Amino acid sequence: MSEGINSQFDFFKNVNLDENGNIGVSVIGGVTTEDIHGYYGLLSSFYFGGSATETVIGQDDVNEWVDVELSVDVNGLFDNRPTVMKEAQSIGHDNDGSNGNPVIFKLEGLDIKSFANFRASMSFEPEEDEGQLESRLLFNRHTGTSPSEDFSIEEVSLSMQNGADKDYITEPMLSFFVGDSIDTNGVDDAGKCRFQIKSNVTGIIKLRALTWYINK
């Protein structure tokens, strides 16, 4: 066999399959699925027989980017980040998600080969018809970058044309790669991000969950 074929054979010959034929956790060379990819989920009580966390969008908040509150259920933290992230930071986020203390996700442990998908699960109850809701991730850079200002990725998540005072459900998905201004620069020195929304009408955001899907 050629060297290339031997390498492929060596990779697959020790892969463990479960009873359904799926690749198990253990793979070759000490690399596991936890080393390669994972996710970090923060769920409200909506998924445990309770309610989503509400953020009121008042008149002063219209057309402004607003941090969305999230009260994480006692059973709502799912920390399945890649191993290197867990080794860098035992907890994957800062703050408790209350008013003025938004959830801020830590990117420490990731490098410029890493990328991620982010999903928010929520609904919006507008007080006026024909409103529009935008979503974004706001990123904080690590030290020593130029420029050093925060930056964001954004999308239009809802166009509400079917009346006011009803729930419009949306699950915005935002993808990003870990560039050299938000990768790991040192201990306690890496990029971070948080979720925000902007509405052109007043209403109530009902946040159910935030999830980051990470590829190392």
What tens digit of pLDDT does each residue of 1-39 get?
333 333 333 333 344 445 554 444 445 455 677 788 999
Of 2-16, 120-134, 157-171, 187-201, the poorest mean pLDDT is in 2-16
pLDDT of amino acid 86: 97
As a whole-number percent, the residues of the chain with pLDDT over 90 amount to 83
Find out whether 170 and 30 touch, Cβ atoms under 8 Å: no
Q: Please report, as a single letter, which amino acid is at residue 183.
A: D
How far apart, in whole angstroms, are the C-alpha atoms of residue 56 and residue 38? 32
Q: How many CA atoms lie within 13 A of 204 on its CB side?
A: 10
Return the SS3 of 8.
helix
Residue 33: per-residue pLDDT = 76
Q: Is the pLDDT of residue 134 over 60?
A: yes
Picking from 48, 89, 56, 106, the residue whose alpha carbon sits closest to that of residue 72 is: 48
Number of other residues whose CB lies within 10 A of the CB of residue 104: 17
Q: How high is the mean pLDDT of the chain?
A: 89
pLDDT in tens, 66-122: 999 999 999 999 999 999 999 999 999 999 999 999 999 999 999 999 999 999 999
The residue whose two tokens read 């990819």 is: 37
Q: What is the DSSP letter of 107?
A: -
Smallest Cα–Cα separation from 70: which of 196, 156, 202?
196
Residue with more model confidence, 33 or 204: 204
Between 3 and 141, the more confident residue is 141
Burial string for 29-61 (b: 16+ CB within 10 Å, else e) reads eeeeebeebbbbbbbbbbeeeeebbebebeeeb
Task: Give me the pLDDT at residue 36, please.
Answer: 87
Residue 216 has pLDDT above 50, yes or no: yes
DSSP 8-state symbol, 145: -
Cβ partners under 8 Å of residue 145, min gap 6: 180, 181
